[in-house]
Amino acid sequence: MPKSKRDRPVTLSKTKKKGRDHKETIVNAIRESVEKYSSVYVFSFENMRNIKFNEFRQQFMHNGRFFLGSNKVMQVALGRSASDEIRSGLYKVSKLINGNAGLLATDMPKEEVESLFNAYEDAYFSKTGRIAAETVELKEGPLEQFTHDMEPFLRKQKMPVRLNKGTVELISDFVVCEEGKPLSPESAHILRLLGKKLSTFKLTLVCRWSPIDFELYQEGLDLSDVETS
């Protein structure tokens, strides 16, 4: 009787951070999930927010499991080539675990998974140092969204303002932030006051594997990109 692929020994590189035992625990958990659930997805993420991600994963609490962490460990768990993959075709999934990526093993129908991922997006206030997603500029004139007692604080944020008959007034055009440039502490404060949420936590499906088929979601990818073992 041929030996099961999933029973093959795994060689993991040395690490000082979490240790070999931790890596092997993750590998085994991924392999058990691949056997337990009917489909495996790779997804990418932008601007990860742990609290929001934990809320999202609750929707799969009873019929799925997520994995985040070392891309290399996830690749080893699935198999990096046709010769060491734990189930047929999983090496294609392994090739697509790059950058900010994670795995989801689930029994949920693919239409439901796609709907949940496609609909999920959470905007939030950008922190200092984040790259501005767009340019925000205020035009000269009254700033009626600010009360008169905020004028000293706004000046501390380097805004050219004054009080004019009890109304905060911008005496010249002012660029709060520029697209593609890091946010200063002052810019981050002003954006929050303006209610401008420039950062978005987003999850995007990359591919789906099942024992009978393989599907790519990510634009710009072709099956030929992943079929070479």
Element (H, E) at 29: helix 19-36
Q: Can you give the pLDDT at residue 47?
A: 85
Query: pLDDT tens string for the chain (229 positions)?
Result: 444 555 555 555 544 555 788 889 999 999 999 999 999 999 999 888 888 999 999 999 999 999 998 999 999 999 999 899 999 999 999 999 999 999 999 999 999 999 999 999 889 999 999 999 999 999 999 999 999 999 999 999 999 999 998 999 999 999 999 999 999 999 999 999 999 999 989 999 999 999 999 999 977 766 666 666 5
Inter-axis angle of helices 71-78 and 19-36, nearest 10: 50
Q: Can you give the pLDDT at residue 71?
A: 95
C-beta separation of 99 from 42 below 8 A: no
Can you tell me the distance from the alpha carbon of 43 to that of 113, in angstroms, rounded to the nearest whole number? 11
Give the predicted TM-score (pTM) of the model: 0.77
Can you tell me the distance from the alpha carbon of 70 to that of 86, in angstroms, rounded to the nearest whole number? 18
